[in-house]
Structure 1
């Protein structure tokens, strides 16, 4: 049976450029628990595995890992962290390494009755500075609010692949995926599924900067399903006056001095 999970890791480097590693010579980290903030998970894992308290500076990278048997999909988020003092326990060390030494994905733990979703979204603009938005359809959480294009990743799909696919499905645009901007999460223990079935729902979202170099009229395609009813381009000043979803509102606020003004 196929399964999915999300792991979070901390990347700390000292003044000499060395990387903080656990006793297993990998970045500290592990599986994000249901309803847990990925940034909080990183603080917990680094403290447990290296003895150092840290502050989280922001996301560094995101990737996808499939187990050797192809049955476990792991979304892996690496956060930049800064140690706040403390002593390293035996085994943990600062070392010169190439790349990101991430461990193999651990076996997923069973969580009956809980659902964790990993999604990729884009703050997309065209050469004229217009912002691409999607409108959530009636009957879905956030109905009537303008949202960022994007959605859940499919099994085996990277966040960048998922976002590129969702852009076409929801807006008919082909985008160039840029930097990773932020990571957020939301836990709704009383969510209702598409068939009216209650579910304990936890969604983790990664947000990318996206550039639409050759914009066309924004249109929803049939492949988008029923969650998106409309797509449109807006001038930056118009975006701030729209009824925005929480994710879109936070993205606009975070980039107010850069993308949206």
Structure 2
């Protein structure tokens, strides 16, 4: 295994299911491997049917150290069965599992397999007091260029999902938003005819901008070329990215439940 520099921890994703047992709430957990959907991992953990409705509870970020000193950044995606009243996962003695020691090993892939890109990203359904939605436009030279996208992006090593989202909203649109509840978490796995095999876990949060200003791109030479506030009827006429379509679909429910 290649050594990881101290300032660049190894990245891992885990999925968890909050259940109620004889002694009260418990949390099951397992590692999410490349290409796996976190919700599918959770259903397998709980012995649930493949179509059991789930609700996303939270995304917890842990900065851990393995027994050999290797730093680990772990994004833990927590679910419960839809209809339960669980607000946050109960604290587990000694931390959530799998532990740092259990997560240290790298995944093994066939030597002749194509290169892979892996990403954990945080996106916002950003609204203001007037009910408008904030969107950003993907710049030329980036995948899905020209489509309208949800503000957000990759979570940096050592950064939690909410901090990353607030930073991305400010960089892409110039707005200061309050990151609220997790709406859902989903995965995206794409195997193009050539090039990299791509796998991402997307966390979608509600974000509220209490004092909206003119939307303007603050980052230079980034992936965002434009941004703006849109009424619901205007959004319906836009060409949206896959990420935006997935995230905005969850606005129809009052609680954002999948």
Shorter-normalised TM range: 0.7 to 0.9
Aligned to 2:24: 18
Q: 1:229 aligns with which of 216, 219, 225?
A: 225
Match of residue 109 from structure 1: 106
Q: Distance in 2 between matches of 1:136 and 1:159?
A: 21
- C-alpha separation in 2, matches of 1:70 and 1:56: 37
Which residue matches 1:238?
A: 234
Q: SS in structure 2 opposite 1:156?
A: coil
Q: Secondary structure at the match of 1:167?
A: helix
- Runs of 4+ in structure 1 off by over 6 angstroms are none
Q: Does 1:220 align with 2:217?
A: yes
**Partner in structure 2 of residue 44 of structure 1:** 44
- Matched with 2:244 is 248
> Is 1:118 matched with 2:114?
no
Unaligned runs of 5+ in 1: 21-26, 83-96, 193-197
- 1:210 maps to what in 2? 207
* Alpha-carbon distance in structure 2 between the residues aligned to 1:228 and 1:258: 30
How many angstroms apart in 2 are the aligned matches of 1:231 and 1:8? 33
Shift of residue 220 of structure 1?
0.8
Aligned to 2:56: 59
Deviation at 1:184, TM superposition (A): 1.1
CA RMSD of aligned residues (A): 2.5
Provide the residue aligned with 2:85 in structure 1.
none
TM-score (norm 2): 0.80
Tell me, yes or no, if structure 1 residue 76 matches structure 2 residue 76: yes
| Cα distance in structure 2, aligned partners of 1:30 and 1:129 | 38
2:34 — aligned with what?
A: 34
Structure 1 residue 67 displacement after superposition? 1.3
Match of 1:176 among 175, 178, 186: 178
**Change in 2 beyond 3 A, CA 1:98/1:133:** closer
For residue 253 of structure 1, report the CA deviation from its aligned partner: 2.4
Secondary structure of 2:20 counterpart = coil
Aligned pair count reads 229
Task: Give per-residue Cα distances to partners, 1:135-156, cap 9 Å, x unaligned.
Answer: 0112211111111000000001
Contact 2:25/2:90 (CA < 8 Å) preserved in 1? Answer: no
Is the CA contact 1:4–1:108 (under 8 Å) kept in the aligned structure 2? no
Contact 2:183 2:250 in 1 (8 A): no
SS at match of 1:13: strand
SS of 2:196's partner is: strand
CA positional deviation for 1:28: 1.8
Q: C-alpha separation between the residues in 1 aligned to 2:231 and 2:175?
A: 17
Quote how far apart the aligned CAs of 1:108 are: 4.1
Distance in 2, Cα, partners of 1:108 & 1:236? 46
List alignment gaps of at least 5 residues for structure 2: 83-88, 110-114
Structure 1 residues 6, 108: CA separation in 2 closer, same or farther (over 3 Å shift)? farther
Task: Give yes or no for contact 1:62–1:76 (8 Å, CA) kept in 2.
Answer: yes
2:155 is matched with 153
